[in-house]
Structure 1
Amino acid sequence: MTLSVILKKYEANCGSKEVNVIKVDSPVGEIIACADENHLLLVTFEDTKNFEKRFEVIAEECQCKFIEKPNKILESFQSEMKLYFEGKLKSFNVPVRTFGSDFQKEVWEKLLKLPYGSTQSYGDLAKEMGRPSSHSRAVGAACGANAHLIVIPCHRLVASGSKGGFNSGKDRKEWLLNHEKKCSS
């Protein structure tokens, strides 16, 4: 389902709160971002798995209507994203709001601490969280539920012996990892 169709779908059953939506061109495709007046709520691609579900969650949690225009949070995000792709920004400062389980939020907090240009295995992150490495699939599932691609750097988690998955495509993950490696040296 396309962005315009999704926005229309949630137009009818909305509250009075506005959530702004923009599209941002990038070297890895057009990024779609949503924010209210205080937080970045979504960073995704239109071809990401569960694209529509991400909007459904925001609509339910925020009781909002979506407006296609920038706001201050999205303008900050857009500036930071430009710097990221120029190799000049190593971590994002724009405030984010996440929707997920306590476990998912714990994984996302750990991801925010992964250094730019580095990778870590799903199993090692599970161990760092005080869980056995057998929880690596649960960590991977939390990455798949991450609605703030690039900003919460789930692309930095890899499987043992491979790059692992990425809900926006392995080619994008590979590009992001190579970009960060190149810009951190």
Structure 2
Amino acid sequence: MKTAFIKTPIGILEIKGNSGGVVSVLFKNKENFSIAETIPKELKEAISQLEEYFEGNRKSFSIKLSPEGTDFQKRVWKQLEEIPFGKTTSYQQMANQLGDPKVIRAAASANGKNPISIIIPCHRVIGSDGSPTGYAGGIHRKKWLLEHESPAPQQSLF
């Protein structure tokens, strides 16, 4: 497993992966990581695409992903990948798309366990009332990401 850290406008990201693809992209809360000058070849494309995203030059990702989870979690994460840049969905809409409105809590739980932040855009799932509920990386980051993707960037969504 290879690991790299990058600085973003909203904190440090830890990217892990191997020849099978990216395994995780997670925010780190400590700012004292040393950012290596040498990036493992397995992670170069992922880091390049993440940097383009933060610069505002990328709206979708085209890298191989290899998240580890249950079959249900993987179904939810696959569904998250279908949410377009600049759009949001609710936990209830996700459950409905999974075929059973009663799985809302399970879908929300799987969403919260997404190991590949930003690339699998769990930040695009909001409460039914439009509020930016729960985000493992912190609500302040979720708000930033949603505003970064907003089609009307001169206005604040929250």
Shift of the 179–141 alpha-carbon distance from structure 1 to 2, 3 Å rule, reads same
What is the match of residue 30 of structure 1? 12
35-44 or 116-125, which deviates more: 35-44
What is the match of residue 34 of structure 2? none
Task: Note the C-alpha offset of 1:183.
Answer: 7.4
* 1:106-135 deviations in Å (ceiling 9; x for gaps): 000011011001000000011011111x32
Superposition CA RMSD, Å = 2.0
Q: Give the alignment of 1:96-111 within 5 angstroms.
A: 96-111=65-80
* 1:129-150 deviations in Å (ceiling 9; x for gaps): 1111x32221110011100000
Larger helix percent: 1
Which of 138, 141, 151 lines up with 1:172 in the alignment?
A: 141
TM-score, normalised to structure 2's length? 0.86
Name stretches of at least 5 consecutive residues in structure 2 with no aligned partner. Answer: 31-36
Which of 99, 109, 112 lines up with 1:130 in the alignment?
A: 99
Which of 62, 81, 87 lines up with 1:112 in the alignment?
A: 81
Q: Give the alignment of 1:148-167 within 5 angstroms.
A: 148-161=116-129, 162-167=131-136
TM-score, normalised to structure 1's length? 0.74
Residue 139 (structure 1) aligned with residue 107 (structure 2): yes
* 1:59-94 deviations in Å (ceiling 9; x for gaps): xxxxxxxxx962223110111011101221111111
Name stretches of at least 5 consecutive residues in structure 1 with no aligned partner. Answer: 1-18, 49-67
Residue 82 (structure 1) aligned with residue 64 (structure 2): no
Q: Tell me, in whole angstroms, the C-alpha distance in 1 between the residues paired with 2:153 and 2:59.
A: 9
Query: In the comparison of the two structures, how many residue pairs are matched?
Result: 147
Report if aligned partners of 2:6, 2:13 keep a CA contact under 8 Å in 1.
yes
Q: Tell me, in whole angstroms, the C-alpha distance in 1 between the residues paired with 2:42 and 2:6.
A: 14
Q: Tell me, in whole angstroms, the C-alpha distance in 1 between the residues paired with 2:117 and 2:143.
A: 14
Residue 95 (structure 1) aligned with residue 61 (structure 2): no
Identical positions, percent: 36
Shift of the 77–121 alpha-carbon distance from structure 1 to 2, 3 Å rule, reads same
Larger Rg: 1
